[in-house]
């Protein structure tokens, strides 16, 4: 696309013996070259490099064995059309082991084991070269065909008889749509609890039990304080324990609460780390056993993205949100049960509010899930581009293409930032509406509880407990909705890694070892 003169481009392709190769490619010059040039032979790579050099119109050229991977006919073509044709007025310094065209060079330096053994014209140095190496040097060179009148017509400007196909070798990154499938959740839970027939149910019950325990214990601690307060203020005050003993019991329950929180945190951390390891190992085994076609059609940046950022999402974000969703859900249910038992009339407010919460989280989850998928896909080209720049830095500097790669990266980064910005805006949309609704309802609930306590419908101790948990109920409900929404968004990372774990492996075409690995070699 950098050429304004297509005729010059055709001549360059012909001089570098690429026109016949391009006619066999599905999209001519628009054919995509895979990473590391996987769809080019060694000779084609050399000729592409020569064509790049020709396009730069150099004044001096350094060539490191440019004929080593081409056949003899292509060698004749390159020598006649390029080295001593188009470049006849260019200074050429060339290292070669192909000596057929040695007599054409003006000055020859013969090296043997790093030392100069001869220097000068062909007649001056041929005595220092073994005779068998010069057996083709005096043979006549095959006449090279000139550039046809319409050479390269079908490979450059897309005429009617141009090759069909888009010339792509890399596949688009796969992306699921819609809600995350339930089997993805089951796969993550299975990775957390393991596959042992005895230990897996025990671990599952322990995870649920600790989440429930850290909900029940604080309620028990607060209920004890309300119960003792009512006893002290009621007619049976003489039956109440002393304030010192009441505080001691309150402190013992507090220690149990802290111990429960510590145990729950350690257990969930350990099992989350185990889940991340299992998911990582399964994906790694799938990639290691994948057929070579997978690596030809998949940029390494895409693989790095899944094993870097997607694994970070599983290890850090998903594990924490998965734990928080269970904890906040148990706290929400516990607070709800307590409030309804003490103040049944509040169900009149709860039902419509919960319906509003459901509608908001449904809309948010659907949008946030797809935004996270698009963000993950938009991140892969950043890794791929960075890898290409690092591995090809010498070529980029050599051809002065720094600005092109900078502009390309800025374009890739802009696309990623648009996807990331969508996730942030969706998060803010949710964060504004949910607290606003919960704040209004919390104020109304608090006013109702205070009025009931003022009229003597409930005791002051019960009013304090209900008021405490009424306020915490809306906060925990906010966090429950957010945590579950975030879990579904982050579960897309598990979804993407699982796709690598389910890659079709390379067929086993080798025989099994004749001897066991434990057999000692003589």
List pLDDT tens digits, range 250-269: 889 889 989 988 998 899 88
Please count the other Cβ atoms lying within 10 Å of the Cβ belonging to residue 155.
26
Q: Comparing C-alpha atoms, which of 320, 312, 263 is closest to residue 482?
A: 320
More confident residue, 31 or 116: 116
- Find out whether 377 and 415 touch, Cβ atoms under 8 Å: no
Given a cut of 70, whether residue 438 has pLDDT beyond it is yes
Q: Comparing C-alpha atoms, which of 297, 317, 300, 275 is closest to residue 190?
A: 275
Q: Comparing C-alpha atoms, which of 292, 203, 170, 192 is closest to residue 494?
A: 192
Backbone dihedral region for residue 113 (phi beyond 0: left; psi -120 to 50: alpha; all else: beta)? left
> What is the spatial distance between Cα 397 and Cα 485, in angstroms, rounded to a whole number?
47
- Find out whether 194 and 203 touch, Cβ atoms under 8 Å: yes
pLDDT, averaged across the chain: 81
Enter the tokens of residue 89: 């007025």
**75 CB-side CA count, 13 A:** 18
Helix (H) or strand (E) run with residue 116 in it: strand 115-120
pLDDT score recorded for residue 492: 83
Taking the domains of the chain in order of start, what are their residue ranges?
A: 6-101+141-156, 182-391+408-501
pLDDT score recorded for residue 163: 46
* Per-residue b or e along 193-214, where b marks 16 or more CB atoms closer than 10 Å to that residue's CB: bbeeeeeeeebbebbeebbbbb
How large a percentage of the chain has pLDDT more than 70? 86
Which residues, including other chains, have CB under 8 Å from residue 426's CB and lie 6 or more apart? 364, 367, 368, 371
Burial environment of residue 348 by CB neighbours within 10 A (0 to 12, 13 to 18, 19 or more):
exposed
> Lowest mean pLDDT: which of 70-74, 263-267, 469-473?
469-473
> Lowest mean pLDDT: which of 92-101, 126-135, 162-171, 488-497?
162-171
Residue 282 DSSP SS3: helix
Which residues, including other chains, have CB under 8 Å from residue 260's CB and lie 6 or more apart? 210, 213, 214, 217
- Find out whether 368 and 485 touch, Cβ atoms under 8 Å: yes
- Which CATH architecture fits 182-391+408-501? Up-down Bundle (1.20)
pLDDT score recorded for residue 58: 87
> Lowest mean pLDDT: which of 79-88, 139-148, 355-364, 442-451?
139-148
Average pLDDT over residues 185-207: 90
Helix axis angle, 347-391 relative to 460-501, nearest 10°?
A: 30
Which residues, including other chains, have CB under 8 Å from residue 119's CB and lie 6 or more apart? 107, 108, 109, 110, 125
Given a cut of 90, whether residue 284 has pLDDT beyond it is yes
Q: Comparing C-alpha atoms, which of 470, 504, 488, 505 is closest to residue 182?
A: 488
Per-residue model confidence as pLDDT tens digits over 326-346: 888 877 887 778 777 777 777
Given a cut of 70, whether residue 54 has pLDDT beyond it is yes
- Find out whether 210 and 263 touch, Cβ atoms under 8 Å: yes
Per-residue model confidence as pLDDT tens digits over 112-165: 888 888 888 888 887 887 765 665 555 555 555 565 555 444 455 444 444 455
Helix (H) or strand (E) run with residue 109 in it: strand 108-112
pTM over the 0.75 mark: no
> What is the spatial distance between Cα 466 and Cα 451, in angstroms, rounded to a whole number?
13
- Which residue is it, tokens 């009339």? 345
Burial environment of residue 490 by CB neighbours within 10 A (0 to 12, 13 to 18, 19 or more):
buried
Residue 290 Cα distances to 293, 481, 505, 508, angstroms: 8, 39, 5, 11
pLDDT score recorded for residue 158: 44
Given a cut of 50, whether residue 197 has pLDDT beyond it is yes
- One of 1.10.8.60, 3.30.70.890, 3.40.50.300, 3.40.109.10 is the CATH number of 6-101+141-156, namely 3.40.50.300
> What is the spatial distance between Cα 212 and Cα 337, in angstroms, rounded to a whole number?
13
Enter the tokens of residue 92: 């050429």
């Amino acid at each position: 696309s950098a050429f304004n003169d297509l005729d010059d481009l055709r001549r360059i392709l012909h001089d570098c013996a690429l026109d016949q190769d391009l006619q066999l490619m599905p999209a001519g010059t628009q054919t995509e070259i895979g990473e590391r040039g996987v769809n080019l032979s060694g000779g084609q790579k050399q000729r592409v490099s020569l064509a790049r050099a020709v396009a730069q119109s150099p004044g001096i050229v350094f060539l490191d064995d440019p004929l080593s991977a081409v056949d003899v006919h292509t060698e004749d073509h390159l020598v006649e059309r390029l080295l001593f044709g188009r470049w006849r007025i260019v200074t050429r310094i060339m290292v070669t082991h192909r000596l057929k065209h040695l007599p054409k060079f003006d000055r020859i330096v013969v090296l043997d084991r790093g030392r100069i053994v001869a220097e000068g014209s062909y007649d001056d140095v041929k005595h220092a070269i073994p005779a068998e190496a010069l057996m083709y040097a005096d043979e006549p060179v095959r006449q090279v065909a000139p550039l046809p009148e319409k050479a390269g017509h079908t490979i450059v400007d897309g005429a009617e008889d141009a090759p069909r196909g888009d010339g792509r070798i890399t596949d688009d990154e796969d992306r699921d749509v819609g809600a995350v499938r339930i089997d993805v959740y089951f796969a993550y839970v299975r990775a957390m609890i393991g596959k042992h027939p005895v230990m897996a149910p025990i671990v599952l019950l322990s995870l649920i039990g600790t989440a429930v325990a850290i909900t029940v214990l604080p309620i028990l601690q607060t209920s004890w304080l309300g119960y003792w307060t009512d006893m002290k203020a009621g007619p049976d005050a003489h039956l109440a324990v002393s304030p010192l003993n009441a505080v001691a019991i309150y402190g013992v329950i507090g220690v149990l609460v802290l111990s429960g929180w510590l145990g729950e945190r350690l257990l969930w951390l350990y099992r989350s780390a185990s889940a991340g390891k299992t998911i990582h190992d399964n994906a790694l085994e799938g990639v290691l056993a994948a057929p070579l076609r997978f690596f030809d059609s998949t940029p390494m940046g895409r693989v790095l993205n899944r094993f870097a950022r997607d694994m970070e999402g599983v290890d850090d974000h998903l594990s924490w949100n998965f734990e928080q969703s269970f904890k906040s859900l148990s706290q929400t249910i516990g607070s709800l049960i307590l409030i309804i038992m003490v103040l049944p009339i509040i169900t009149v407010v709860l039902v419509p509010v919960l319906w509003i919460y459901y509608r908001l989280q449904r809309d948010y989850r659907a949008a946030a899930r797809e935004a996270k998928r698009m963000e993950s896909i938009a991140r892969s080209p950043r890794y791929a581009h960075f890898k290409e720049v690092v591995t090809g830095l010498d070529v980029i500097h050599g051809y002065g293409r720094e600005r092109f790669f900078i502009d390309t990266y800025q374009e890739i980064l802009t696309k990623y930032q648009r996807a990331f910005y969508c996730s942030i805006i969706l998060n803010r949309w949710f964060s504004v509406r949910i607290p606003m609704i919960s704040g209004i309802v919390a104020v109304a609930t608090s006013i109702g509880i205070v009025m009931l306590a003022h009229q003597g419908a409930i005791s002051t101790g019960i009013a304090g407990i209900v008021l405490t948990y009424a306020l915490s109920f809306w906060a925990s409900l906010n966090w429950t909705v957010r945590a579950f929404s975030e879990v579904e968004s982050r579960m897309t990372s598990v979804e993407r890694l699982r796709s690598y774990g389910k890659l079709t492996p390379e067929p086993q075409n080798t025989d099994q070892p004749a001897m066991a690995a434990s057999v000692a070699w003589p």
